[in-house]
Amino acid sequence: MFGMTGFKRWIFLAAAGLVVLLVAAAFAFRVDILRTALDPRVPFQAYAPPRAPVYARPQAWALPIEAHPADNLPADIFFIHPTTFDGGKHWNGPIDDPDAARLLDRVMLPNYAGPFAKVGRVFAPRYRQASLYSQMTLRDDARAARGFAYGDIRAAFRYWRAHRDTGRPFILVGVEQGGLLGERLLREEIMPDKALMARLAGVYLIETVVPALGYDALSAVPACTRRDQAGCIVAWATPQDGDRRRMRDRALIWDESGVLVGLQGREVLCVNPLTGGTTRDVVTEHAHLGAVNATGMEWGMRPPFLKRLVHAQCVDGFLDVSKPKSTAFREAGGWADQLKVAPYNLFYGDIEADAQARVTTLLGRTVYGLAAAPITRSETVKTSPIHRID
């Protein structure tokens, strides 16, 4: 027989063991639990989306669009941000959702739009993004939510063209969900326009699965093979936990009619950000130009770089990246945060140098430089007589 003390100890150990089992089960099924919690529970066809952004208003842009601070830089960047909205009530997030806006402003813009701040004027539209839940399921409703988000991106791009485009070289950038939308924008809005294509310095589809077919050497926008090449596409996707097969099975791409479909055996495009080319060799740490954790930094501030930190290799169309040893590059936040793109950028310095090189090539220069400051006022100069001195 147990004594009272022994019985209490047995109860305590049993309860502790049960808690451990429950925590382990919750962790093992965390994606399923999160998916259930974020499900809008309404068919997309019956869903009333948030109000559309009005891109003539500054509130529809994540970075200041008036009196742009980088007017003296030679390029424009159209930046499409990654997922910041979890879901729950909405299939597509309102642009003023406070948690999503905070994650965008504090984390995503400094880390992923930041590399382009020294390259040109960055235009980053807020849009009714598909929720994180829509990335966690292959349901038709989720695909419809992603397609719906494209309508906002197209409207924002057309506004930029009509009201902010000054004829400079430009770069298209999309990250994760933004990369998927950017790939469609490239094919539908940019590639058919010869004048626009002539100014395209480069396309960056970061953490985005892009089919290699259609971006070969004969394409109007070929895959980049070297860093001093303009008018080409840089794209890569890094599998979580190295699970390339799972990422391939769950990847969605646009077909010719603008419908999201699976890869269906298509080859995936992988351009190694350490070289800016399609090499399949291991690129060592010696080529790495700088990782940063810029979370919380004010826009325009240049974060300190950690160089020679990671090596990378394109394998079966996906980018395998070594894990950095620095504690600054660890996943943080709750379960939902860990399913979004990382809150740091391992290739910040590489992307910055890459984008500058492609703009330089397009401009026919040998050194990247700033444009002359715009003239904001005129001065009348009076003539003065010249007195000859013999």
Range with the poorest average pLDDT among 40-44, 172-176, 183-187, 303-307: 40-44
Domain residue limits at 260 = 14-363
380 located within any domain:
no
Residue 60 in domain: yes
Q: What is the pLDDT of residue 217?
A: 83
> Binning pLDDT at 50, 70 and 90, where does residue 15 land?
low
Q: What is the pLDDT of residues 1-13, one digit of tens each?
A: 455 566 666 665 5
How many domains is the chain built from? 1
pTM of the model: 0.87
Q: Is residue 384 part of a domain?
A: no
378 is a domain residue: no
Is residue 353 domain-resident? yes
pLDDT mean across residues, the chain: 87
- Residue 374: per-residue pLDDT: 43
Kindly state whether residue 288 falls inside one of the protein's structural domains.
Answer: yes
Average confidence (pLDDT) over 69-78: 89
Determine the pLDDT at residue 334.
75
Q: Cβ of 233: how many Cβ atoms within 10 Å?
A: 23
Dump pLDDT digits (tens) for 194-231.
999 999 999 999 999 999 988 988 899 999 999 999 99
Report yes or no: 236 and 273 within 8 Å, Cβ to Cβ.
yes
